């Protein structure tokens, strides 16, 4: 059985890593374990919990920065920022429910380590773009820091970028500093009903190439739209293309009008504030549309103008799958019924022509073991050397990202 | 400035190296003539000069790969160079090194409006990208003041910013893909037209790596649609405290302007005498706030910003009513460097970032230092993000003034770190701030960064002598004695 260590300071944590090194006992690093179902099952012997390294250390709203212990729950951070009318702008998803876990469990360290982002990705960036600095313990048991406590900094290598999306395989984050931004005063979404996928993709391309500063653009085929809890989406009985606009009140109204004019008869409805908020939360968190725990869930990042074409290709190759597009076509979610290789071969093949990458987000454990999170191809040698530069003994989350390390 | 000791064995082989390079690439791209080499002896940090041993101007990725593979085999150092506008000496050549100029990489390869990106070669000047797509109403957002000249490859290497990066981000937030060549000659493609990395974010780490990790041979940048309108407010304040509070209040009101720039009185006077933009001469601090977007939004937010400025005691306010007037309001700020150049034989541009609330304290300390060193200083400030550019005025022909300017500059940067800021916001560490790195980072911090360098460049041949104050061999950095069962328990630092 695995035993759990739960340090309360960076120094304690370093001791734990040194102990693991001495005993050659690899560590599994967990925030709350909300995303443990993602990626190759860990092969660690000890659990290192960040739960007690939590709490907001400092928050300077006017400087747009916040520092917190890596184990701080997002659900504890968000209200503190909201009280100053601010937010974490990259809209980190709450994916716990995708794996049948409760909502609201994600920690800031986990969000950064997985480089999460939401529908605003193409406009506001991902976790990487808001991660300013950190203190961490590397695989040698050394406490070190990188980045800085201010929003603009190029002193030394931008290690926060590298740690974002490293799935805890390079270092254990103890304290993190992120950029925070004002919450938009208002939001609305313009809806286009009944479009076929390629028409919808073109509409999103048009909208994103306009001056209307779109902050969300997604397409739900009819079967998925019917799963929404937002009345105007569910009751449409049609495929839905949604375009979100956020900002100052008069600007939102102006841009919505302009957008509707751009699409003429196709733009029939709008989602107003609370409906719009609820809808994009569903898109962000995905589980509403992909509830079936038995299916394998893939997340494909692709050139945005090609999203519908790739989706069409995969839909005919993988009978029974369901899918939708986010990021103006640049993000394809696809749930595949349990088949031999959960579509891995076909999905990764589908990206050869256009470029992009596919991540298996949910799937049966045996299959996750055979499908690595990443498929870095020509980059794999370099990635391995990068891993060794931080964790030469391979004791941090071994096997989580790659079968070999 | 102490650079790594030139390797006499390499210097002795110079003629053979020249011959070998001429066989390796188009011989017209190999420069060995000592007069011609002078063209590369410095970058924008003109206080340091060193002609390279040899310069090479490859014309394609295959030539870059061949040169690097050869240099890796032969143990010869390489310094990449874009347009040579670095203000931190990042492109300063080495006496025993090859300067790799990317000037021939000057083509825009593809513009893809549907995917809102452009694929360009690294030698393309920053502004050329925006020009190429302006006809369709698009632009490339990061806009360093040097944008007519500086190359996009240099921007990637320095993670350059501009006056609009508060709202639109730095270079790193506006890239989609890179092609890089490692010191071994291996060519790698990272990213593409899609978002996010497949594995570790190598593009994120290459950006801002100051030419130490790989040579960038192709860049895919994001394109944005140009906002419908932009207008600027020029406001004068009786003190830097008042102007700083105004900035804080604008942000607290939930407004992120496209640009928010501050100048102190000496800077204001210097530029007004130069460009006659109508800046208020009595103001202790001047603020330019630019809003962009649809007309209704700009009007709505500008009226809020004006009210905030009023509440903070602004002594004058002027809102641009035409594009000409907006450009005029900016003209002074954009000409700040040359304007200082007009009133002083030489100036030294610093680049620290501070928490904005510390501005009055930092300015006061700077005034004391100015008196102590007997050198004038003017300040321009990216106020939105706390990035301060003190311009120290000196005369290089007066003995000792350059040295005084340098130690004044170092004192300012240490002050930035002391108040909770950092050594550089956008110009990079280079050689200039190399020896100040321990102000921000201890040995453990720096060792971790150097180990990353070793993952890319095991022989440390790419741009050595920059960024890191002490060079350690990769073997030494990588050593770990866990197999003896006894880990040397590190002296754990306490935070
Ligand atoms: C004639 C008519 C037509 C309508 N048509 C539609 C329609 O087509 N589609 C539709 O969805 N609804 C429709 N509604 C209902 C409408 O949703 C509500 O009146 C809505 O609250 C107003 O939308 P708004 O965007 O103007 O919100 P606002 O006036 O901006 O806000 C309404 C309330 O929500 C709060 N709020 C706004 N944004 C947020 C946020 N991000 N977070 C937390 N709180 C927030 C505000 O503080 C305020 O209390 C219609 C109503 C009427 C009377
Ligand atoms: C008047 C003036 C104003 C400026 N204003 C700003 C400003 O507003 N904001 C800002 O951020 N900077 C500013 N700068 C600094 C400078 O312009 C930027 O750092 C710029 O990005 C450097 O680009 P370059 O092509 O001139 O690079 P160079 O000076 O040639 O090189 C800079 C560094 O990048 C490396 N490098 C260059 N090309 C490559 C490549 N293809 N692959 C790998 N490494 C490479 C070099 O080795 C060196 O370390 C200013 C400079 C001047 C002179």
Residue B424, domain member (yes or no): yes
Q: How far is the C-alpha of A307 from the C-alpha of A326, rounded, in Å?
A: 9
- Determine the pLDDT at residue A375: 76
Residue A247 sits at φ, ψ, to 5 deg, of 145, -155
What DSSP element (H or E) covers A233?
helix A231-234
Residue B316, domain member (yes or no): yes
pLDDT digits (tens, 9 = 90+) for A345-383: 888 888 888 889 998 888 887 777 777 777 778 898 999
Which residues 6+ apart lie within 8 Å of A181 measured at CB?
A: A64, A86, A87, A88, A89, A124, B256
Q: Is the pLDDT of residue B192 over 70?
A: yes
**ipTM of the complex as predicted:** 0.96
Total domains, chain B: 5
Nearest to A120 by CA among A290, A226, A276, A259: A276
User: Side-chain half-sphere of B402: how many Cα atoms within 13 Å?
Assistant: 10
The position carrying tokens 């005691």 is B313
Q: Is B6 left (phi over 0), alpha (psi -120 to 50) or beta?
A: beta
Q: Is the pLDDT of residue B3 over 90?
A: no
- Determine the pLDDT at residue A2: 55
Q: How far is the C-alpha of A269 from the C-alpha of A292, rounded, in Å?
A: 30
Return the SS3 of B468. coil
Report all structural domains of chain A as residue ranges with CATH numbers, in order of start.
49-182 (3.30.465.10), 186-284 (3.30.70.2190), 296-363 (3.30.70)
Which CATH number fits the domain that encloses residue B21? Answer: 3.30.43.10
Residue B155 sits at φ, ψ, to 5 deg, of -60, -40
Q: Do A386 and B200 touch (CB under 8 A)?
A: yes
Sign for the CA dihedral angle at B120, B126, B130, B131 comes to negative
Residue B33, domain member (yes or no): yes
Last residue of a domain, one of B432, B452, B472: B432
Residues in chain A closer than 8 A to B417 (CB atoms)? none
Which CATH number fits the domain that encloses residue B372? Answer: 3.30.70.2740
Residues in chain A closer than 8 A to B155 (CB atoms)? none
Q: Do B455 and A382 touch (CB under 8 A)?
A: yes
Residue B239, domain member (yes or no): yes
- Domain span including residue B370: 344-432
Q: How far is the C-alpha of A160 from the C-alpha of B412, rounded, in Å?
A: 26
CA angle A312, A314, A319 (to 5 degrees): 105
Which residues 6+ apart lie within 8 Å of B216 measured at CB?
A: B80, B122, B153, B156, B157, B178, B179, B180, B206
* B92 in the same domain as B47: yes
The pair of three-digit structure tokens given for residue A364, joined into one six-digit string: 């049966």
DSSP letter, residue A98: G
* B164 in the same domain as B202: yes
Average pLDDT in the B294-305 region? 97
Pick the residue from chain A with its C-alpha nearest to B442. Answer: A144
Per DSSP bridges, beta strands B229-237 and B285-293 are: antiparallel
Q: B224 near B118, Cβ under 8 Å?
A: no
Q: What is the DSSP string of B375-388?
A: --EEEEEETTTTEE
To test the contact with chain A by mutation, choose from B86, B115, B427 the residue with the greatest count of A C-beta atoms within 10 A, namely B115
Per DSSP bridges, beta strands B97-101 and B54-56 are: parallel
Q: Do A301 and B440 touch (CB under 8 A)?
A: no
Alpha-carbon distance values, A351 to A306, B137, B218 (Å): 10, 30, 21
Q: Is the pLDDT of residue B114 over 50?
A: yes
Q: Is the pLDDT of residue B481 over 80?
A: no
Per DSSP bridges, beta strands A3-5 and A46-49 are: parallel
Q: Is the CB of A269 under 6 A from ligand 1?
A: yes
The pair of three-digit structure tokens given for residue A90, joined into one six-digit string: 């990259």
If one counts every other C-beta atom within 10 angstroms of the C-beta of residue B485, the result is 9
If one counts every other C-beta atom within 10 angstroms of the C-beta of residue B252, the result is 16
Residue B492, domain member (yes or no): no
Alpha-carbon distance values, B486 to A21, A139, B480 (Å): 9, 15, 10
Residue B1, domain member (yes or no): no
Kindly report the nearest CA distance between residue B79 and chain A, in angstroms.
Answer: 18
* B286 in the same domain as B304: yes
DSSP letter, residue B5: P
Q: How far is the C-alpha of B478 from the C-alpha of A391, rounded, in Å?
A: 10
Q: What is the DSSP string of B214-239?
A: -EEEEEEEE-EEPPSEEEEEEEEESS
Q: How far is the C-alpha of B262 from the C-alpha of A371, rounded, in Å?
A: 53
The pair of three-digit structure tokens given for residue B125, joined into one six-digit string: 């000047």
Sign for the CA dihedral angle at B107, B112, B118, B119 comes to negative
The position carrying tokens 């286009």 is A192
Q: Do A150 and B296 touch (CB under 8 A)?
A: no
Q: B217 near B136, Cβ under 8 Å?
A: no
Kindly report the nearest CA distance between residue B301 and chain A, in angstroms.
Answer: 8
Residue with the larger pLDDT of the pair B120 and A293? B120
Which CATH number fits the domain that encloses residue B114? Answer: 3.30.465.10
If one counts every other C-beta atom within 10 angstroms of the C-beta of residue B10, the result is 20
Nearest to B414 by CA among B436, B397, B383: B436
Last residue of a domain, one of B288, B319, B337: B337
* B263 in the same domain as B170: no
* B293 in the same domain as B184: no
* B214 in the same domain as B173: yes
Q: B423 near B445, Cβ under 8 Å?
A: no
* B207 in the same domain as B130: yes
Nearest to B353 by CA among A124, A64, A56: A64
Q: How far is the C-alpha of A382 from the C-alpha of B206, rounded, in Å?
A: 13
Q: Do A156 and B161 touch (CB under 8 A)?
A: no
DSSP letter, residue A396: B
Q: B180 near B190, Cβ under 8 Å?
A: yes
Q: Do B487 and A141 touch (CB under 8 A)?
A: yes
3-state helix, strand, coil in chain B (%, to 5): 40, 20, 40
The pair of three-digit structure tokens given for residue B418, joined into one six-digit string: 């002391």
Q: How far apart are the first and last CA of chain B?
A: 32
Q: How far is the C-alpha of A246 from the C-alpha of B88, rounded, in Å?
A: 39
The position carrying tokens 């304040």 is B237
If one counts every other C-beta atom within 10 angstroms of the C-beta of residue B419, the result is 15
CA angle B402, B406, B411 (to 5 degrees): 150
- CA-nearest residue, atom 12 of ligand 1: A272
If one counts every other C-beta atom within 10 angstroms of the C-beta of residue A3, the result is 8
Nearest to A178 by CA among A36, A68, A275, A259: A68
Kindly report the nearest CA distance between residue B490 and chain A, in angstroms.
Answer: 7
Return the SS3 of B272. helix
If one counts every other C-beta atom within 10 angstroms of the C-beta of residue B223, the result is 25
Q: B325 near B292, Cβ under 8 Å?
A: no
- CA-nearest residue, atom 2 of ligand 1: A272
Last residue of a domain, one of B198, B225, B252: B225
Which ranges of B335-471 would DSSP assign to H, the alpha helix?
336-343, 359-373, 401-418, 437-440, 443-456
Residue B3, domain member (yes or no): no
Q: How far is the CA of B159 from the centre of ligand 2 (A)?
A: 9
Q: How far is the C-alpha of A318 from the C-alpha of B431, rounded, in Å?
A: 56
The pair of three-digit structure tokens given for residue B274, joined into one six-digit string: 């130069």
* Largest CA-CA distance found in chain B, in angstroms, rounded: 74
The pair of three-digit structure tokens given for residue B58, joined into one six-digit string: 């490859």
Return the SS3 of A353. coil
The pair of three-digit structure tokens given for residue B36, joined into one six-digit string: 């011609």
- Determine the pLDDT at residue B460: 96
Residue B166, domain member (yes or no): yes
- Determine the pLDDT at residue B457: 97
Q: How far is the C-alpha of B330 from the C-alpha of B162, rounded, in Å?
A: 13
Q: How far is the CA of B165 from the centre of ligand 1 (A)?
A: 32
Q: Do B386 and A152 touch (CB under 8 A)?
A: yes
Q: How far is the C-alpha of A30 from the C-alpha of A4, rounded, in Å?
A: 10
Q: B203 near B178, Cβ under 8 Å?
A: yes
Q: Is the CB of A281 under 6 A from ligand 1?
A: no
* B89 in the same domain as B15: yes
CB within 6 Å of ligand 2 — which residues?
Answer: B 43-44, 79-87, 90-91, 102, 122, 144-146, 150-151, 153-155, 157-158, 160-162, 210-211, 215-216, 337, 426-427, 463
Q: How far is the CA of B155 from the centre of ligand 2 (A)?
A: 5
Which residue numbers in chain A have pLDDT < 50?
1
Which residues 6+ apart lie within 8 Å of A117 measured at CB?
A: A90, A91, A92, A93, A125, A126, A127, B196
* B413 in the same domain as B359: yes
pLDDT digits (tens, 9 = 90+) for B215-264: 999 999 999 999 999 999 999 999 999 999 999 999 999 999 999 999 99
* B112 in the same domain as B220: yes
Q: B449 near A386, Cβ under 8 Å?
A: no
- Determine the pLDDT at residue B495: 30
* B372 in the same domain as B333: no
Kindly report the nearest CA distance between residue B329 and chain A, in angstroms.
Answer: 24
* B119 in the same domain as B189: yes
């Amino acid at each position: 059985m695995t035993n759990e260590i739960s340090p309360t300071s960076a120094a304690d944590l370093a001791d734990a890593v040194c102990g693991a090194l001495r005993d050659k006992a690899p560590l599994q690093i967990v925030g709350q374990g909300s995303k443990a179902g993602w990626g190759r099952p860990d092969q660690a012997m000890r659990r290192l919990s960040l739960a007690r390294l939590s709490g907001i250390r400092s928050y300077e709203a006017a400087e747009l920065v916040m520092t917190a212990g890596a184990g701080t729950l997002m659900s504890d951070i968000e209200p503190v920022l909201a009280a100053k009318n601010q937010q974490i702008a990259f809209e980190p998803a709450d994916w716990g429910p995708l794996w049948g876990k409760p909502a609201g469990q994600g920690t800031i360290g986990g969000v950064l380590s997985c480089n999460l982002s939401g529908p605003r990705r193409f406009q506001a960036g991902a976790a990487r773009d808001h991660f300013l600095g950190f203190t961490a313990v590397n695989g040698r048991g050394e406490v070190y820091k990188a980045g800085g406590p201010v929003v603009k900094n190029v002193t030394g290598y931008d290690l926060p970028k590298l740690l974002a999306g490293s799935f805890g395989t390079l270092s254990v984050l103890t304290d993190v500093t992120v950029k925070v931004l004002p919450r938009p005063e208002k939001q609305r979404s313009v809806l286009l009903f009944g479009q076929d996928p390629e028409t919808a993709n073109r509409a999103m391309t048009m909208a994103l190439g306009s001056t209307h500063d779109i902050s969300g653009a997604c397409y739900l085929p009819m079967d998925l739209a019917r799963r929404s809890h937002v009345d105007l989406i569910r009751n449409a009985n049609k495929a839905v293309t949604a375009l979100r606009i956020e900002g100052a009140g008069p600007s939102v109204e102006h841009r919505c009008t302009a957008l509707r004019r751009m699409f003429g008869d196709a733009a029939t409805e709008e989602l107003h504030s609370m409906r719009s908020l609820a809808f994009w939360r569903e898109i962000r968190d995905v589980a509403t549309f992909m509830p079936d725990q038995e299916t394998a869930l893939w997340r494909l990042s692709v050139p945005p103008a090609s999203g519908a074409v790739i989706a069409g290709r995969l839909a005919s190759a993988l009978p029974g799958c369901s899918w939708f597009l986010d990021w103006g076509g640049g993000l394809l979610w696809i749930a595949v019924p349990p088949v031999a290789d959960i579509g891995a071969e076909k999905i990764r093949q589908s990206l050869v022509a256009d470029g992009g990458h596919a991540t298996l987000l949910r799937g049966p454990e045996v299959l996750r073991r055979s499908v690595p999170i990443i498929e870095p191809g020509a980059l794999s040698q370099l990635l391995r050397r990068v891993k060794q530069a931080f964790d030469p003994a391979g004791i941090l989350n071994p096997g989580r990202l790659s079968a070999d390390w | 400035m102490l650079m790594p000791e030139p390797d006499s064995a390499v210097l002795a082989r110079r003629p053979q190296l020249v011959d070998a390079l001429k066989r390796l690439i188009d011989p017209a791209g190999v420069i060995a003539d000592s007069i011609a080499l002078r063209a590369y002896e410095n970058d924008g940090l003109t206080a340091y000069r060193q002609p390279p041993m040899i310069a090479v101007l490859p014309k394609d990725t295959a030539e870059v790969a061949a040169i690097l593979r050869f240099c890796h085999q032969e143990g010869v150092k390489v310094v990449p160079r874009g347009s040579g506008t670095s203000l931190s000496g990042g492109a300063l050549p080495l006496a025993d090194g090859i300067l790799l100029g990317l000037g021939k990489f000057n083509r825009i390869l593809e513009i893809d409006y549907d995917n809102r990106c452009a694929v360009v070669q690294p030698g393309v000047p920053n502004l050329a990208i925006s020009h190429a797509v302006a006809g369709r109403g698009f632009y490339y957002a990061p806009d360093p003041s040097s944008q007519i000249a500086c190359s996009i490859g240099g921007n990637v290497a320095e993670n350059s910013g501009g006056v609009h990066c508060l709202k639109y981000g730095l270079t790193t937030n506006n890239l989609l893909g890179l092609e890089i060549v490692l010191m071994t000659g291996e060519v790698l493609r990272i990213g593409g037209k899609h978002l996010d990395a497949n594995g570790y974010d190598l593009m994120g780490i290459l950006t801002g790596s100051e030419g130490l990790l790989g040579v960038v041979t192709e860049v895919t940048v994001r394109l944005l649609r140009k906002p419908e309108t932009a207008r600027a407010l020029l406001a004068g304040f009786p003190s830097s405290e008042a102007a700083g509070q105004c900035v804080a209040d604008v942000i607290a009101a939930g407004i992120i302007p496209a640009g928010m720039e501050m100048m102190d009185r000496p800077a204001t006077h210097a530029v007004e005498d130069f460009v006659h933009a109508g800046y208020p001469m009595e103001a202790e601090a001047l603020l330019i706030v630019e809003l962009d977007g649809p007309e209704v939004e700009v009007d709505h937010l500008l009226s809020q910003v004006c009210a905030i400025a009023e509440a903070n005691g602004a002594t004058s306010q002027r809102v641009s009513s035409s594009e000409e007037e907006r450009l005029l309001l900016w003209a002074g700020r954009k000409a700040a460097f040359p304007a200082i150049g007009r009133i002083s034989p030489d100036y030294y541009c610093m680049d620290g970032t501070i928490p904005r609330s510390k501005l009055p304290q930092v300015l006061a300390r700077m005034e004391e230092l100015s008196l102590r060193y007997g050198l004038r200083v003017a300040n321009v400030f990216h106020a939105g993000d706390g990035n301060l550019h003190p311009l120290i005025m000196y005369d290089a022909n007066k003995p000792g003034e350059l040295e005084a300017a340098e130690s004044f500059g170092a004192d300012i940067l240490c002050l930035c770190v002391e108040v909770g800021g950092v050594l550089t916001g956008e110009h990079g560490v280079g050689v200039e701030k190399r020896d100040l790195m321990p102000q921000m980072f201890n040995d453990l911090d720096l060792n971790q960064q150097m180990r990353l360098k070793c993952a890319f460049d095991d022989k440390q041949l790419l741009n050595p002598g920059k960024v890191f104050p002490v060079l350690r061999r990769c073997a030494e950095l990588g050593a770990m004695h866990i197999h003896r069962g006894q880990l040397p328990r590190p002296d754990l630092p306490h935070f």
